Structure 1
Amino acid sequence: MLRCLLLALAVLVGNQNSLADPSQNYPFSIETEKEGDGHRIVARNNGPAPISVKVSIADSQYITTDRPFPVFAVVPPGGGTLYLAHIRPAMTGVGYSFRTHSSWVLGDFNAQQSPDALYRLPYRDGAAYRIGQAPGGPVTTHTTPDSLYAVDIGLPEGAPIVAARDGVVIYTEANQVYGGQSPDMVSKANEVRILHVDGTIALYAHLAHGGVYVYPGQRVTAGTQIGLAGSTGYSSGPHLHFAVETVVRSGDGLAMVSVPIQFYVGNPPIAFAPRFGMLVAADYSSPGRMPDVEAPQMAGKASVTTQTATGNREMVISFEVPAPLRAWLLLVPAWQWAIGTVSLIFLLTFLDSKRKDWRRATKMQEPTLRSRPAEEPLRHGLSARDKLVIACGGDRQRADRLQEYEYHRSPGISNEEAAQRACERLQRDRH
């Protein structure tokens, strides 16, 4: 039955990330402007973060450029204008045409995380929470390059979220209200992105409605509260999605990827890589110690013990749920459990009906055997009269009538012979 339930639920559960797209409302633009006998392409960045940009040319005729395309560049923040390329006609007096295509992402594709970079736990001092999804553990949604090294921390709704490292807030999304595991929730998570001195960007996602406390351009230090935990966007329940990302040139394009991180606790600090099942307390006043890790092979262990009346013998039945399965089951929302349970009930009812139909059909195909009379039980040592009374079910009056009938049929027979004939006639009539 458990296997059927898991198979039914497996059909229902889907995995998907749900992070907002900063390009929707970030103050950045790429423009083509007339200049002399040609055109120039410029980028303007009025936001607080550097922007990695790619510009390519399509459908061009009779043009020449001052540099090869596609052009990759990093546009610095602060309202500056960056010249990207100049396009001129290939021949004087001949018309020319072209079309540009551009794409960009927050961050600097030249940035690399500092080797000594450490991150404090992104929740308030004194609190302790368990790490869910993490590199090397059970994975349900962290399957894309920007989330491979991300961690999910199971925080309750409204728990304070703090900055894990000093930096500048470069992007916020605070207008989302709802969360859930339906397609319309994709890209509807409240979030905060913070730029670090080495160019990496920390992402804090799924914050609560009304739970973003910072603004773009604000400088924060590690431990500063930036918001509240929630479950906005594509989410199965309250938690914090935390990742450190950087931009890379991937093939002929740009991509955001996550990088491995090291948390620390204690004073002096103890550094550690996040792992699935870790229960970590944000303690920064006492000497640090390595956080406890829930052993995957023991996760979800249940046992039943029985004992005999004498107390001498004991039987233990145990069942262990593997850690990856347990982590997956914990992420299944209640409404999917309900649908899976109802589906299982219908499935079992249908299978039981089919089983009964099959048994009826099989029984109808069996050859019908004629009933055969049961042999009369042996009654050794009994007289014919006693046997007749027994055959009449103990009714002596009926036995007398049957015996009298045999007298009339065959006058002169003995009582024993009349009783014998009456008993045989009774047996023939019954059969």
Structure 2
Amino acid sequence: MIRALVLVAAAGLGPSAAAAELAQLSVLRQGQEKVAVVVNRSGAPVEVELRADVWRGMDSEPGLPQRRVLAAGEQATLARIWPVAEGSQVELRLSAVPGPPHAVARDVVYSLPVEESGFTLGQGFHGGYSHGDEANRYAIDLVVDEGTPVLAARDGVVVAAMSGHAEGGADRALADRANFVRVLHQDGSMALYAHLQEGGVNVRAGDRVHLGQVLGYAGSTGFSSGPHLHFSVQVNGGMWLVSVPFRMIGPDGFLPLK
């Protein structure tokens, strides 16, 4: 018996925050074999890894785990699997992380992703409330009113976007229910714009966006104590997301992020 499980590390806000937007695993029958096929559903490269959580009486070509970088929209066969003993059983797990692995972020000055008036800087780098993990260590929170336009801080291509979540609050169980836009830059780094309004996203995967373009509208979805924009620059460190320091210009010069 073969079961296919899909677990996706995506937004740095929770393990399943963009599962449907990144990759899809299908297990197809071909004679006595089962074929594990993965499709990159995002608008940018995605690194995927296929492994078995349960493996009894089975063999495969190639062996598991298998890791691959898929281009936007690419479909690939990761493994062919067949039984070699009675009572065979396997449970497959696909993990996927957006962006090319081990990209090096350039030292770019980012534009303010909201209008210059009407915001305050909440948490900065190493914020003790929710910026303690590797994916969010160098994130910032810009406190703004609900519905404030969220602007592209740099040109890029939309990797994934989510706008269907309605719930938000100061409960970590909501961490994977934040609406967001993720934008891939030319150097392989990615900007994350999170906690957007339900239905408050103007772009979709594959869209090319330009500096200052309205991506969506600020809200308070997911693990959020009030309306704000969570912004970070991340790279794929090799099947996990790593936030990196960045500089951002505001109305009075560089924001004091550290």
TM-score using structure 1 length: 0.50
Unaligned 5+ runs, structure 2: 1-11
Cα distance in 2 between the residues matched to 1:40 and 1:293: 52
Q: Deviations over 1:66-109 (max 9, x none)?
A: 3342111122222x32121234566xxx7683414223234135
Q: In structure 2, what is the equivalent of residue 69 of structure 1? A: 64
State the shift of 1:204 in Å: 0.7
- Partner-residue secondary structure (3-state), 2:237: strand
Letter in 2 for 1:77: A
Choose the corresponding residue for 1:146, options 135, 154, 165: 135
1:226 aligns with 2:215: yes
Alignment of 1:84-95 (within 5 A): 84-87=78-81
CA contact (8 A) 2:17 2:176 kept: no
- Contact 1:54 1:72 (8 Å CA) reproduced: yes
Counterpart pick for 1:50 among 35, 40, 45: 45
Q: By how many angstroms is 1:150 displaced?
A: 0.6
Matching residue within 90, 106, 117 for 1:115: 106
User: Relative to 1, partners in 2 of residues 1:226 and 1:19: Cα closer, same or farther, differing over 3 Å?
Assistant: farther
Describe the SS at the equivalent of 1:123.
coil
Q: Give CA-to-partner distance per residue, 1:35-82, whole Å, 9 cap, x none.
A: 46644322122332322222123323263x33342111122222x321
Are 1:190 and 2:184 matched, yes or no?
no
More strand by share: 2
Q: Find out whether 1:104 has 2:89 as its counterpart.
A: no
Change (3 A) 1:188 1:34: closer
Letter in 1 for 2:37: V
- Number of aligned residues: 246
Residue-by-residue CA offset, 1:229-267 (whole Å, 9 max, x unaligned): 222222222211001222233xxxx3222122222x4xx
Cα gap change, 1:19/1:223 in structure 2, threshold over 3 Å: closer, same or farther? farther
Larger Rg: 1
Q: Deviations over 1:148-191 (max 9, x none)?
A: 11111122222221011111222222223343224664433221
- The 3 A distance-change label for structure 1 pair 89 and 293 is closer
Whole-Å Cα distance in 2 between the matches of residues 20 and 159 of structure 1?
A: 27
Q: Contact 2:22/2:46 (CA < 8 Å) preserved in 1?
A: no
Identity, % of aligned pairs? 31
Residue type matched to 1:44 in 2? Answer: V
Read off the aligned partner of 1:260 and give its amino acid letter. Answer: P
SS in 2 for 1:99: strand
> Compared with structure 1, are the counterparts of its residues 60 and 193 closer, same or farther at alpha carbon in structure 2 (3 Å cutoff)?
same
* Equivalent residue for 2:123, pick from 108, 116, 133: 133
Structure 1 residue 163 and structure 2 residue 157: aligned? no
Deviations along 1:328-378, one digit per CA (max 9) or x if unpaired, are xxxxxxxxxxxxxxxxxxxxxxxxxxxxxxxxxxxxxxxxxxxxxxxxxxx
Q: 1:81 aligns with which of 75, 90, 109?
A: 75
| Alpha-carbon spacing, 1:105–1:127, altered in 2? closer, same or farther (3 Å) | farther
Aligned with residue 241 of structure 1, among 230, 234, 244: 230
Q: 1:149 to 1:183 in 2, by over 3 A?
A: closer
Alignment-derived partner of residue 6 in structure 2: none
The alignment's C-alpha RMSD in Å is 3.1
Q: Secondary structure at the match of 1:25?
A: helix
Supply the AA of the counterpart residue of 1:117: V
Higher RCO by CA contacts (8 Å cutoff, separation 6 or greater): 2
Residue 292 of structure 1, CA deviation: 7.1
Alignment correspondent of 1:214: 203
CA distance in 2, matches of 1:182, 1:203: 20
User: Which of residues 222, 245, 251 in structure 2 aligns to 1:260?
Assistant: 245
Q: Is the 8 A contact 1:19 1:233 kept in 2?
A: no
Q: Which residue of 2 aligns with 1:372?
A: none
Instruction: For 2:76, give the aligned amino acid.
Output: L
Report the TM-score when normalising by structure 2. 0.80
> Matched residue of 1:113: which SS?
coil
Q: Are residues 28 and 18 of structure 1, via their aligned partners in 2, closer, same or farther at CA, if it must alter by over 3 Å? A: closer
| Unaligned 5+ runs, structure 1 | 1-16, 266-279, 282-288, 297-431
Summarize deviations over 1:87-132 as a string: whole Å, max 9, x none.
4566xxx7683414223234135241333433211123x4364322
